[in-house]
Amino acid sequence: MLDDFRADVRRYKSMPGYRGMLWWMLDQSFWVILCYRLIATARGTPLHAPLRVFEKLAEFVHKCYLPTTATIGPGLVIYHAFGVIVNGKTTIGANCTLYARVCIGNRWPGDGTPVIGNNVTIGTGACIFGPVVIPDNFVVKANAVITPSSPTTPPAGASS
């Protein structure tokens, strides 16, 4: 967990507009990611149940649903965490960037969930539903809606 969080911090520090650690610590995205990393680490321990209160508090305060059951690689950056929703069974690779109001999940209960590769950027308002695989180094453009597609065509609204 600590290594993953350090990778998150390193990515934030390398971003344009970084104004110092204090400024970053006041950003809501910092708290969302910190809560995710801490509570996900506690899964399977007696501390997990009480810490889930903080998960729900972070969800309520920041209007960002990032459940600890989701698998998220190191180096996550979220710009404007407000309105971000990630399904608990989703897998997100290393060094991914999410913008505001991104929705990653399934369309119906029992439907598969997305697998997001490494170094993927998902633009504001993009929705990714169902058993979709987004390959490494992709940019999902703002407001794109990606649903399962044939294996021979890339996801609609995405670019490499």
Residue 136 has pLDDT above 60, yes or no: yes
Class of domain 2-149: mainly beta
Question: Residue 128: phi, psi to the nearest 5?
Answer: -125, 115
Asked if 73 contacts 98 with a C-beta cutoff of 8 angstroms, the reply is: no
pTM for the full predicted model: 0.82
Confidence of residue 34 (pLDDT cuts 50, 70, 90): confident
pLDDT digits 0-9 by tens, 60-112 = 888 899 998 999 999 999 988 889 999 999 999 999 999 999 999 987 777 88
> What's the one-letter identity of residue 65?
Y
Residue 108, both tokens? 């119906």
The domain limits of the chain are: 2-149
